[in-house]
Amino acid sequence: MPKGYWVSVYRTISDPEKLAAYNELARLAVQAAGGRTIIRGGRVVAHDAGIAERTIVVEFDSFEQAVAARESTAYQEALVALSDGVERDFRIVEGVD
């Protein structure tokens, strides 16, 4: 069964305090849903229209698990804390195997 991934690329961070509150709540929600953060920040080389800002990748055992984690009550609370603190591109993608 293919794994599922959250891929989040931050375009701008306008409120670091909101991001910090989100990070704590999101970390708990991801762990509760069985997710594993495999990329969090770090060095980035962006090409074409890419943005060299903060990038996060979270791995789940399945695509369905990744979708359910995003829809969970715990993660929705994290999103409330984040509100307008960042502008980001967030996707849930299915792995190839």
Angle at 22 between CA 85 and CA 96, to 5 degrees: 100
Give this prediction's pTM. Answer: 0.91
Average pLDDT, the chain: 94
Amino acid at 14: S
Residue 8, pLDDT above cutoff 90: yes
Q: What is the pLDDT of residues 14-62, one digit of tens each?
A: 999 999 999 999 999 999 999 999 999 888 888 998 888 889 999 999 9
What does DSSP assign to residue 80?
H
How many Cβ atoms from other residues are within 10 Å of residue 51's Cβ? Answer: 14
DSSP-based helix, strand, coil % in the chain, nearest 5: 35, 30, 30
Q: What percent of the chain has pLDDT over 70?
A: 100
CB 97 within 8 A of CB 2: yes
